[in-house]
Structure 1
């Protein structure tokens, strides 16, 4: 039976009302996420980690799924059916992971309550009112850290802990928060750095008052809270942590890992299948590396070439300032070339920042932080300036196209600017798409005029190899019984990354099972989609239109992206031809 226009309209209204209601609830439940997105209503709050709050969140998601499935899907237009399917997918994924207690593993060497001062990086601090909201949030920090301790205590009782060797890396970060110099002078706290750089337009008297209040809050709330958390962490949690590194050694660990594989890759691949894909990719990229080495006239082994790249001073900057300037120059070189490959570019700008030193020693070479929804905060490409003598110049181009443009910033900013999409889609986080796109963007460097220097080309291959190694190492650690040292040795033997990066990366995979699989699995699928489009359309393909199509609906699971590409190819083939 044909549906009336009014029935269709009513179904769409009901669907979007549910989207909006759930979005509001999720922001209220996740104030840090709200701050990241740029919704200021919850900037004074922390997440509620109490058992009652977590139970209420689960119940609300189950209710939302039931209400969604009670809505009629058939009357909806095709685009709204896609919205329906994606929202159902998201709710089901949230519920499917809950039996594994994912919050038990939320703390890692690179993320967690040890570095909450870095939240100031995304907080608006442009007015006296803004700063007072941040102070209010800091006053509430003790309750949040108490709840976090209780969460870890329950996790330890259930055997759901992070590995001890990983958590030992958290202790120095906590020590920075409670260092004796901070106890003697609160202005030495990592939390005070945001108050030390308040804008001059606030006025001298207001700045002096706010800084005085900040010192008092740090001394009376922040410092005692961190002292209590560090005491619990060091004396109770750390001794209870497991000696093993694989998630398979935790309750239902292998099932949890398969859940994470499916979540991060949006596929049904098994750990063994992904491990083999990784081995095949490692072999393929080795052959490409050998061709570059032959072009340079290098007659030594791959291992010897890796050591040459790691140790020769010509490949490294001498200071953090020199390294930062090199990143800025690279970003500026790429931007004017983007119009060759894209018809639509984001209006939102991005900038470069150094990763804060509270986390820089324990995190990756760079990362991207998205813009705010209100347009008041740009996107930022964060680069690691810790130990510049270990950050090779030949990686700068490939890292920049991944994290900035045409990688994460271009894709994420464009998605957020699409006001016709529901918010859950504008901010969707399908890792296989997000990271698959960014890794695909690395290959676009050739079309953007990069990698002209053979060492820079080798840097691109090093990054491709890095993601192939991830498939082998992540599955090795979490499903095949590999040790941490085995993972480090395999990484070192197959990629020219420096020692500090290799160790940080392996520890990242240990603490975040499955996430690292999304890059290469996503890239391989996106590359296959482009080959399919080029084979079908030949030289008539409009690559700018093709890329615009890939990006115009925000992040999608890979199977839905496949369908979208096939539909676009068919539309191009049936489009009326013009001209002679």
Structure 2
């Protein structure tokens, strides 16, 4: 065989391999599209949040049969995924394969803990069904009629929740009483004597021009009838069930370890949320080390501010001095919006790519504000028809210090969650599950890392703003200690509250709400600091390796260009990125642990 024939043969082999890779990738992406559709059908609320209106007239089916069907579908999906030959996939499709496999494997492992038998939370549950109006468009008559159908279906949804709650009572799967004591007031807020006062009536208080005046009156009348004849009686009955049966049976303990198979459950939660194999003991130790480091930095800022007292006295000053608080909810909202406007023009200092999707600042709904966190982010619709929103808590302005606003806004809005979610939606050629992925360690780690980018953008010129950044970093470090403390080491709720208060200037109300959140959601809060530490470590590694070639804007873009992924996947990507910037051959990827192919 002459040299020309050999080259031609090698080209034919390469083209054949490329064709096989393309065919397998097409099949895989068709599978992902099928799975995405399954998810939308199984969770109408998730479909609504994504901007898909097809299922806006219904709630998720919480019957035992539907739950079992969803669990079986996850098991079948994993088996189908393993039918693909991973070796025939492109590197991008291998990343998609590995990511979806990770999600399915943990969804299946989670099934044995039967979380659905604890269907009521003080931060979410059937008493807050109305909250979905925040993501619904209400652009035309159909949207209002879909909402009327959901109102009509509220009694059936509450009956399903009661049935699950009773099964949980029988099997000893009960939430802590200290949290459930918050719920009666939330249920009572749904029992109104005037339909216009119901949170479910909110969409009917205003209409777009596309809905004629005579139709508006018809819609309002039907909404009022459904609320008074269906919704209110259903919540009144649900309240009786909760107050008379469920609340008295709630458990006195707070630790996840006290649930049936509780230790295994907490270990699973810690691994799931951090996307690592760190143990509770290791995470607790990391937390203690970080608390000590941040405490030292706080002492320096206290001295810069010219405060002469102790750290405890400085915390009291920060929690109580009138200069740090707005007097009204309206003034507080305007202050949040002003802070966001300060951030926006500085983003080009640390990013080469700015996402196209806009964001806005909204108040957290009044009916949930007393029992929820200081702020949160609601992602935009995946089709771009709804912006992202930064929701801020205006309840009791006298406990919402202004020194926390900069760090909080950097985390929840830009360049934190809004950048992370919006850039994910812009991933080219990625399946929808990748565009909308939310791995907590990556996503919340990015949010905490984004707070620190305020220094690179020149936004922490005031010592009190710097204390706010340290307070927020301390908040996430304290989480490592108190979450593992309560769920794995026998800490009481009171001990956790006191430890938090001793090491943070956050107000008592915020501290209590946070501790109760960790009790309610074991392991989730561990992900923030673990994720931020990994991203910061990768930044330092890149800076050291690249020296004068290191570009912070390019690094930040590189972190976001993967979308939300497990931390080990992010690390592999950044290591390859460093090698590429340095002009080196990228390292060989680790072999997949998958059994696929």
Q: Could you tell me the TM-score, scaled by structure 2's length?
A: 0.94
Q: How does 1:113-128 map to 2 (within 5 A)?
A: 113-128=126-141
Asked if 1:136 corresponds to 2:145, the answer is no
Asked if 1:469 corresponds to 2:478, the answer is yes
For residues 198 and 174 of structure 1, the distance between their equivalents in structure 2, rounded to whole angstroms, comes to 27
Corresponding residue of 2:7: none
Quick one: which of 44, 49, 73 aligns to 1:60?
A: 73
For residues 166 and 178 of structure 2, the distance between their equivalents in structure 1, rounded to whole angstroms, comes to 18
CA contact (8 A) 2:549 2:581 kept: no
Q: Which runs of 4+ in 1 moved over 4 A?
A: none
Q: How does 1:123-522 map to 2 (within 5 A)?
A: 123-178=136-191, 182=192, 184-522=193-531
Corresponding residue of 2:49: 36
Corresponding residue of 1:111: 124
For residues 419 and 69 of structure 2, the distance between their equivalents in structure 1, rounded to whole angstroms, comes to 36
Deviation at residue 417 of structure 1 after TM alignment: 2.3
Q: Which ranges in structure 2 are unaligned for 5 or more consecutive residues?
A: 1-12, 586-597
Cα shift readout 1:225-253 (whole Å, capped 9, x = no counterpart) = 21121111111111111000111111011
Deviation at residue 9 of structure 1 after TM alignment: 1.9
Cα shift readout 1:434-492 (whole Å, capped 9, x = no counterpart) = 00000000000111121111111101100000000100010111001111111111111
CA contact (8 A) 1:355 1:383 kept: yes
Deviation at residue 200 of structure 1 after TM alignment: 4.7
Aligned pair in 2 of structure 1 residues 17, 201: CA closer, same or farther (>3 Å)? Answer: closer
Corresponding residue of 2:592: none
CA contact (8 A) 1:155 1:161 kept: yes
CA contact (8 A) 2:44 2:58 kept: yes
Asked if 1:48 corresponds to 2:65, the answer is no
Corresponding residue of 1:19: 32
CA contact (8 A) 2:434 2:563 kept: yes
Deviation at residue 145 of structure 1 after TM alignment: 1.1
Cα shift readout 1:232-284 (whole Å, capped 9, x = no counterpart) = 11111111110001111110111000100011000001111101111000000
Deviation at residue 493 of structure 1 after TM alignment: 0.6
Deviation at residue 86 of structure 1 after TM alignment: 0.8
Cα shift readout 1:183-224 (whole Å, capped 9, x = no counterpart) = x32111111122113235523222222111110111122112
Deviation at residue 328 of structure 1 after TM alignment: 0.5
Cα shift readout 1:514-553 (whole Å, capped 9, x = no counterpart) = 0100100000011000000000011221221111111112
CA contact (8 A) 1:105 1:511 kept: no
Cα shift readout 1:146-199 (whole Å, capped 9, x = no counterpart) = 111111111111111110110110110001001xxx2x3211111112211323
Deviation at residue 419 of structure 1 after TM alignment: 4.4
Asked if 1:550 corresponds to 2:559, the answer is yes
For residues 528 and 105 of structure 1, the distance between their equivalents in structure 2, rounded to whole angstroms, comes to 38
Aligned pair in 2 of structure 1 residues 286, 106: CA closer, same or farther (>3 Å)? Answer: farther
CA contact (8 A) 2:141 2:210 kept: no
CA contact (8 A) 2:359 2:387 kept: yes
For residues 23 and 201 of structure 1, the distance between their equivalents in structure 2, rounded to whole angstroms, comes to 32
Q: How many residues align?
A: 572
Deviation at residue 350 of structure 1 after TM alignment: 0.6
For residues 91 and 142 of structure 2, the distance between their equivalents in structure 1, rounded to whole angstroms, comes to 45
Quick one: which of 523, 527, 537 aligns to 2:536?
A: 527
CA contact (8 A) 1:123 1:134 kept: no
Moved more, 185-194 or 513-522: 185-194
Deviation at residue 374 of structure 1 after TM alignment: 2.1
CA contact (8 A) 2:119 2:161 kept: no
CA RMSD in angstroms, aligned pairs only: 1.3
DSSP 3-state at the match of 1:524? helix
Deviation at residue 320 of structure 1 after TM alignment: 0.7
CA contact (8 A) 1:141 1:221 kept: yes
Q: Which ranges in structure 1 are unaligned for 5 or more consecutive residues?
A: none
Moved more, 196-205 or 164-173: 196-205
Q: Could you tell me the TM-score, scaled by structure 1's length?
A: 0.97
Deviation at residue 575 of structure 1 after TM alignment: 7.1
